[in-house]
Structure 1
């Protein structure tokens, strides 16, 4: 372990040319500490892949938690540019970045202890994991948290599938797909035992339900992207102010046995009236019975709604290839990206 990280100390981080500053411990990173202090630090993936949280180090020194992070280039190093999600301060620092009000947290993220309570199968390779928290964690439908899992290097980002209900927020559900050779999913499916405790840090993410927008909603999901979309659908159903909003939920799977989500939506108020579910599979063969749509989920969305997509609030989550195809389709349809919401995961 780096000696600078052994003793927990707080350091003053100053934003050049703004007069704004915040404290960051050497057990935290600049990005998350800034958000904990209500500083609107731009970010996306939060795990070192996208590079959207870069800042320039003017004074001081930082350690990189993951020197091989894909979002950090050799040119960045030369220019003293670092990733906020990977940078731990060695002492007081002055940094240069442009805070953006878009990233101001609705709920300031916190680190809590999560006790693993149960696992429920969703499909042949997706399960829902429930954690009880040591303290309330308020979040918006569609947001995610970072889990520190046993035997896993670094944190893993997973979206919540539940919503905050009542006056307490001490339960988080995560729907996770088991990935071959995936450290995070293998820890959840194989290593974590009931009653075991882990650190959970959240909430994060900008693809949360916009409650003040009353357009009809389209949710597009694939794989474990089911979780944030289910959370958004649950959030709409539970919000009296959104009872007149129509929500269409489209799920894309490779084969019929991959399709999921309908059972979670059928129990919500207004299912079949204001809330509808459809699915598409890209491979309907192999002897499986399938009476639904064949193709990709973005093709299903375009065929169902066409130019009406321009009048909808659109949320999506799933594999990168799916996300790219959806964006390309929406761009071709001249949909304003101000009404399209997704978090970049890699």
Structure 2
């Protein structure tokens, strides 16, 4: 099927499959269409259908509440039934040649373990090898759960059939309740995946100091960035500051990995754990003496610690929308960070 996309700056044309969303077909064709979550939640990929017919398998998608006209659709949810033409309210561009196109695959949950209160670390073995960069995410669709969910990978390998995630249990969260409701955390269950997606990508050619600010399970993508940077010896030359926010000391995880990373690069890598609901415990400070601990919201702690250094570093954000929004304001208004040097994927 032929799809024409009219954006504010120009038009694009590409071929689309009836088995793939308009968004996925466009990204595979090298068109950088506007999107954020790729799950039908945020509404960023809103478009107006001008001509043709589409298939909309999830009319109850949360992002539909942001649609303004009867002809409006979510490109991440709709696939073409005929040639069609849509109009997006924002801009679209030719994607950089280095951007990895998304693909579809199936997988099986192979391992799952609780690593903190209401936090699960699990791995999916896929039927096809996935290519992705550190900091990217895929959408996961489970049987009996309506709609896909977006999760960042903790690992970063190319051509891998192993995807690692961390997921936090959320009240009334469809996927997390499905996962936690089974004694075996759904080990052995098949799921569908699409990806990679995301713009908060790290590559060693960046050649800049980096700052990572994450809350809760948002640390997943930051761990991928940390792992790739360590494997490439990035911190031999550049500085890295990682800020991980949790509510209480008992909620923190991946501390052993952070501790080992700082031990390997003590001069250029600093990891700070910020607890918002209580002061960090003495036991935690004593056990992980190489790490820094602070009380407060993680984005505020980060801005207080990095100050003017944010203006020249590349900053990565991840976590709930209030955290990302608060961090953006603080970084730009207080730390004078340049907006074009802040990368994030906000999951509503």
- The interval holding the TM-score normalised by the smaller chain is 0.7 to 0.9
- In the TM superposition, what is the alpha-carbon distance from 1:273 to its structure 2 partner? 3.0
**Alpha-carbon distance in structure 1 between the residues aligned to 2:225 and 2:193:** 21
**Could you tell me which residue of structure 1 aligns to residue 194 of structure 2?**
201
**Could you tell me which residue of structure 1 aligns to residue 267 of structure 2?**
273
Tell me whether 1:172 sits opposite 2:163 in the alignment: yes
- Could you list the per-position Cα deviations for residues 202-227 of structure 1 after superposition, in whole angstroms to 9, with x for gaps in the alignment? 10111111433212111111110010
Distance 1:318 1:86, change over 3 A: same
Distance 1:174 1:298, change over 3 A: same
**Could you tell me which residue of structure 1 aligns to residue 339 of structure 2?**
337
Distance 1:18 1:277, change over 3 A: closer
- Conserved? CA contact 2:319–2:346, under 8 Å: no
**Alpha-carbon distance in structure 2 between the residues aligned to 1:256 and 1:287:** 6
* Counterparts of residues 59-74 of structure 1 (less than 5 Å): 59-72=51-64
* Counterparts of residues 16-95 of structure 1 (less than 5 Å): 18=11, 20-25=13-18, 27-72=19-64, 76-78=68-70, 80-95=71-86
**Could you tell me which residue of structure 2 aligns to residue 297 of structure 1?**
298
**Could you tell me which residue of structure 2 aligns to residue 109 of structure 1?**
102
**Alpha-carbon distance in structure 1 between the residues aligned to 2:98 and 2:196:** 9
1:72 alignment partner, SS class:
helix
Distance 1:147 1:104, change over 3 A: farther
**Could you tell me which residue of structure 2 aligns to residue 284 of structure 1?**
278
**Alpha-carbon distance in structure 1 between the residues aligned to 2:171 and 2:259:** 31
**Alpha-carbon distance in structure 1 between the residues aligned to 2:160 and 2:72:** 37
- Conserved? CA contact 1:160–1:174, under 8 Å: yes
**Alpha-carbon distance in structure 2 between the residues aligned to 1:301 and 1:232:** 18
**Alpha-carbon distance in structure 1 between the residues aligned to 2:116 and 2:258:** 15
- Conserved? CA contact 1:226–1:261, under 8 Å: no
Distance 1:14 1:298, change over 3 A: closer
**Alpha-carbon distance in structure 1 between the residues aligned to 2:143 and 2:338:** 42
- Could you list the per-position Cα deviations for residues 99-149 of structure 1 after superposition, in whole angstroms to 9, with x for gaps in the alignment? 323577711111111121101332122111101111110100010001111
**Could you tell me which residue of structure 1 aligns to residue 290 of structure 2?**
none
**Alpha-carbon distance in structure 1 between the residues aligned to 2:142 and 2:61:** 19
Question: What RMSD over aligned residues (CA atoms) do the two structures have, in Å?
Answer: 2.5
- In the TM superposition, what is the alpha-carbon distance from 1:198 to its structure 2 partner? 1.3
- Conserved? CA contact 1:112–1:135, under 8 Å: yes
Distance 1:203 1:286, change over 3 A: closer
Distance 1:125 1:31, change over 3 A: same
TM (norm. structure 2) is: 0.87
After superposing the two structures, state which structure 1 stretch, 49-58 or 98-107, moved more: 98-107
**Alpha-carbon distance in structure 1 between the residues aligned to 2:235 and 2:163:** 23
**Alpha-carbon distance in structure 2 between the residues aligned to 1:70 and 1:220:** 27
1:236 alignment partner, SS class:
helix
After superposing the two structures, state which structure 1 stretch, 191-200 or 283-292, moved more: 283-292
- Conserved? CA contact 1:236–1:243, under 8 Å: no
**Alpha-carbon distance in structure 2 between the residues aligned to 1:132 and 1:101:** 32
**Could you tell me which residue of structure 2 aligns to residue 257 of structure 1?**
250
2:129 alignment partner, SS class:
coil
Aligned length: 332
**Could you tell me which residue of structure 2 aligns to residue 12 of structure 1?**
2
